[in-house]
């Protein structure tokens, strides 16, 4: 009997305004990582200073055993 676990990711997207400093952006991302188990999937920095952030976390699907 082989147990195959399929893992998918859940994504969250948000934007940080251009007035957001680098330290504040880092602390926001750190809080998401520590307390929500999110990891950085992509970060886009625009020429005007806006940041667009995509976070992801693994969704564990549990199969019934009994």
Domain positions in the chain: 8-59
Percentage of residues of the chain with pLDDT beyond 90? 74
Using CB atoms within 10 A of its CB, is residue 1 exposed (0-12), middle (13-18) or buried (19+)? exposed
* pLDDT one-digit tens code per residue, 34-50: 999 999 999 999 999 99
The whole-number pLDDT of residue 7 equals 62
What's the half-sphere exposure (Cβ side, CA atoms, 13 Å) at 7? 5
The whole-number pLDDT of residue 23 equals 95
Is 65's pLDDT higher than 90?
A: no
């Amino acid at each position: 009997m082989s147990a195959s676990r399929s893992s998918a990711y859940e994504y969250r997207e948000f934007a940080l305004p251009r007035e957001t400093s680098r330290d504040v952006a880092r602390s926001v991302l750190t809080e998401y990582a520590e307390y929500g188990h999110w990891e950085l999937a992509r970060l886009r920095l625009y020429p005007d200073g806006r940041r667009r952030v995509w976070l992801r976390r693994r969704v564990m699907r549990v199969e019934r055993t009994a």
